[in-house]
Structures are given as structure tokens and as C-alpha cells.
Amino acid sequence: MSASTTQLDALLQRATLALNAGAYRELQQLCRQILAIDKDQADAWFFMSIVAEAGGQPGHALQFVDRALQLVPAHPEYLSQKARLHSLLNQFPQARDAAERAISTQPQQAIVLDTLGVVFTRLGYHDKAAGLLRQAVQKQPDNPQFQFNLGSALQFLGQDQQAREAYTAAIANRPDFSRAYWALSELDKNRTDPGRLDALQALHDRNTNSTDDLLYLAHALSREYEKRQDYDRAFSCLAAAKQRRRSGINYAVDDDLALFNAVRELFTHSPPEKASSTPLASRPLFIVGMPRTGTTLVERILGSHSGVLSLGELQDFPRALKKLAGTRTNRVLDPETVTTAGQKSMAQLGRSYAALLADRVPQQGWFIDKLPLNFLCAGFIRAALPEARIVCLRRNPLDTCLSNYRQLFALNYPYYNYSYDLADTARYYVGFHGLIELWQELLGDGFYQLRYEQLIEEPEPTVRELLDFVGLDWEAGCLDFHRNTAAVATASSAQVRQPLYSSAVARWRKYERHLTPAMEVLDAAGLSYR
């Protein structure tokens, strides 16, 4: 054995130890030494991919893992890393291709199976994801993260008891797993039986919690106090954790309002020229609105119609808009992107959107694209896809603000950063309201506002009116939406699997004494909520 081979083996062993220890700076240095000796060491390129991803550079990480795959094309771990990076970059067709290639290698490592399961969860293939995640758990049942990932997939599929067992197993293997406690509280939010209060309170009161852990625990703890109708404690523990998180992020609601203003300015003074046709075999039906206002509920109602296929919560239209604009800003949507896209071809935007959907759309009828924040894109949607219909959910302004504040959105998704502060949330709502009023004026019969409270109080006539807007015949099955077995990958997964209920209407009254910051903003804007 040559000296260089011996040196390479030693460096690779040290690199593996550094990887397992999470020592990424040391790992990067070792990989550079390895590649200086032999540029065809595939593991070194793979390790560099992990380092780049940890450093917040997924694009570079993808380049590194592609280099590793040039050397070893059928390596399951490399392919799973490639699939995950594509999914993080919202490059879903490429992610699915890499994941399928990884599965074709018949992977046996639990980490590879778990990674692929998470990728398929992100892609919306929840049955396939659950199968892979079960295999990972079977191989390593004491891994709490694997159990948690399996629980998430099962929850999306409506297999609540099995999801509960997986989350409980995660906590058994890691008693301080705050996110698993939160996931259980979300799963059981509509169950009246209390539980876990003592364990949650003990974990919450520890001084070693990170900001994120404290936020997960506070949300779970708030649910427990709410079950006991102790609304003061439910709010106070939530407010403290929210404020701590708010103070640690670089966020100003004025940045969101600047985006709203850019959209208003464009479509008020220099709207883009509309495309002449919609380049799809079936017709798109967009469901938009503030989060927590019933968008998933309406998706399930419409998706229960025989003439409608729901594709779930998609990011494709904003991605197509960003691609059209060609801006290099960090956000998918920002003032520069909106202004630049407004000067481009809307026909091209429609074609780009159709290409992203590829073979997912049906060949006839309607398909649902449900993404609440697409309310920002409504003008572009109608310009690029003139046959599209847009349903916008509206809910009592103060209930909307409270519900957004009480919801814990994905921590790495900056578009919901307003929700850490009540006044920010209310100011965001005022901006949303103004934009929706503009869309109603400009988009005419292609835009329909549906009130959540009306749907709850008068379900059949409201759904009939909704179907008339879309141009669909009445089907009684739309009112049996809770029997729909399709996966639900949103915070409303538990609610939409039961019949309509009215307990969420005027919930703000239970918290009224704490809502002054939001009420003052809404009052100043002249928005009624009583």
C-alpha cells in the first residue's frame, strides 16, 4: 500500500468522525486535503455537499453531490442527498427523479430511507413516504427523529392513532423532544381530554430551552391550558415565547407591506398585458386567503366534487413568477420581483406554470392549486391564466389575527414572521384586506370572496353558490368532505376530517383582554370585528 493511499485512508477516517460529530469546519479542511491528493474521491465531494448545505448554500451543495455522482452514479446515499437538495430548492421534478433512482438501488441504510421518506413527504407522495419511513423506523426504532418523521407522514394520511404512537415513541426515546410534544398537541387539538400538562410545564420551565424549543413547548402548553378554559395562562405562556422569538429574528412588518404596495402600484397604474388563453388541458382553481381562515376546508369541499382534482398546497405559481422575473433576491416574492415580472410576458408565465405542473394536472375538468399566500399573485394569475378562477377566504378580522398568532408556522419559512406579534399580524391583515378589495374591483367575475362564518352557518347554500361560481353542478358529496381520504399536509389536517363545527367562530372573545394591540390596529383601519 502506497504512502498516499495510507494518508487518504487516514484522512477519510478523520473526515467521517468529523461528520458524525458535526464538526463541519474541520470536515471541510479534511476534504480539501483529500481532494488535493485525489480529486476523484467521491466521499469527499459528498462530504463537501453536506458542509455546503450546513453553511446555507444548497446550490453549491448540489454541485458537490453531482460531482460525487459522476464518480459513483448509483450510490444511494449520494442520490438521497441530491433528492433532498432539489426538494429544498423547490426543484420538485428533479427531486422525484433522484429519489426514484435512489430507491432503484434498494437502499438498506436507515438514514437513506428516512431521507427519501422526508423528500416524498415534501413532494406530497405521503403513502410512499410512510412506507419508506416505516422501514427506517424498523431498522432504527430508537431514533427519535425517524419516529417523528413517520408520525408526520401518518398524520397527513389521517392515520391519527398510528401517528400518535410514533410521536409518543419519539418522546420515549428523547424525553425533551419539544417538537414532538407540539406535534401531539396539534394532532389532539380538537380532543377534549387533557393530558401532558405536568410534563410540558416542567420542560417549559427549564432554563436550558433554546428559543425554538421554548416556542414548540409554549404552543403545546397553551393548548393544554385552553382545554382547561384557562385562557389567561394559555395566552401568557404563548406571548412570552413569541416575543422571545420575535426579538431574535430580523423582521419588520413594513417589509411585507412594501410588497403589498408594489403589487397595488403595478396593477393600479401599469398592469401587465393579459395572455389570450390558458395553456392547460384542465382549468385551474386557486384557493387563497390569510392562513387559518378555512382554505383547507374549502379545498376539501371542492375536492370532493367529481369534476375537481386537488393537487394540494403548491408553490409552483410563485416559482414560475420568480423565474419569469429573473431576479436574484433572496425571497421568491419581493417588490423587485413583482415590478420586474410585471414587464414580462404573461403568456410566458402561464406556459412556465403549466410546465412546472407537468403530468400532475388532469386532462379535463378542474384542478385545485391551494396556497394561501397566492393572494399576492391573484392579478398575475388572472393575467397569465385567463380561464382560472380564484376563491379567496375571508374570516372575522380579529379571529384571523388571533388564529394566525396561535398557530406555529414552519420556523424556517419567513413569510409568516408577522405571526410572532399581534400588532404585526393586524397590520399585515390590514394590508391583506386592502389588496383583496383591489382584486375584487379589478378581477371581476374571476375572483370570489367566501366568508368562513357564512360557510359554517349556512353550509349548503354557501357551497351551492361556490359551485355556481366555478360552473359546477351541485353534488351532495361536497358536504361530506370529512370522508375524503386524501392526504392533508397542513395545520388543518385534524379539523377537515370531521364535520363542520362552530367552536372557532368568535373565538377572539375568549382572549379579548389580551388582544388590545391587534384591536387598536384594526380600529384605526376601520375594520369591524364585533
Please report the pLDDT score of residue 262 as a whole number. 98
Please report the pLDDT score of residue 48 as a whole number. 97
- Fill in the amino acid letter for 217: L
In a domain, 181, yes or no: no
In a domain, 212, yes or no: no
In a domain, 206, yes or no: no
Cell output for 488: 392533508
In a domain, 317, yes or no: yes
Say if residue 74's pLDDT is above 50. Answer: yes
**What does pTM read for this prediction?**
0.90
pLDDT per residue over 393-438, tens digit each? 999 999 999 999 999 999 988 999 999 999 999 999 999 999 999 9
Please report the pLDDT score of residue 90 as a whole number. 79
In a domain, 207, yes or no: no
- DSSP for 185-244? HHHTTT------HHHHHHHHT-TT--HHHHHHHHHHHHHHHHHTT-HHHHHHHHHHHHHH
String of b and e for 210-238 (b: at least 16 CB within 10 Å)?
Answer: eeebbbbbbbbbbbbbbbeeebeebbebb
String of b and e for 309-336 (b: at least 16 CB within 10 Å)?
Answer: bbbbbbbbbbbbbbbbbebeeeebbbbe
Sign of CA dihedral 410, 211, 148, 59: positive
Q: Grade residue 76 by pLDDT with cuts at 50, 70 and 90.
A: very high
The 3-state secondary structure of 107-150 reads CCCHHHHHHHHHHHHHHCCHHHHHHHHHHHHHHCCCCHHHHHHH
CA 81 from centroid of its chain's CA atoms = 20
Inter-residue contact 295 to 287 (CB < 8 Å)? yes
Report the percentage of the chain scoring pLDDT > 90.
81
Say if residue 379's pLDDT is above 80. Answer: yes
Q: Grade residue 497 by pLDDT with cuts at 50, 70 and 90.
A: very low
CA 350 from centroid of its chain's CA atoms = 23
In a domain, 285, yes or no: yes
- Fill in the amino acid letter for 452: Y
pLDDT per residue over 283-316, tens digit each? 999 999 999 999 999 999 999 999 999 998 999 9
- Fill in the amino acid letter for 502: S
Say if residue 89's pLDDT is above 90. Answer: no
Say if residue 2's pLDDT is above 60. Answer: no
Q: Containing domain of residue 335, as a range? A: 253-524
In a domain, 404, yes or no: yes
pLDDT per residue over 448-488, tens digit each? 999 999 999 999 999 999 999 999 999 999 988 777 655 55
Nearest to 382 by CA among 252, 287, 278, 282: 278
Nearest to 218 by CA among 196, 240, 187, 202: 240
Please report the pLDDT score of residue 491 as a whole number. 52
CB atoms within 10 A of CB 40: 12
CATH of the domain at 392: 3.40.50.300
pLDDT per residue over 54-72, tens digit each? 998 999 999 999 999 999 9
The domain tally of the chain equals 1
Residue 342 phi, psi dihedral angles, 5° rounding: -65, -15
3-class DSSP state of 390: strand
Please report the pLDDT score of residue 330 as a whole number. 85
For 11-26, what is the mean pLDDT? 93
In a domain, 189, yes or no: no
- Per the DSSP assignment, residues forming a β-bridge with 369 are 286
C-alpha R_g of the chain: 24
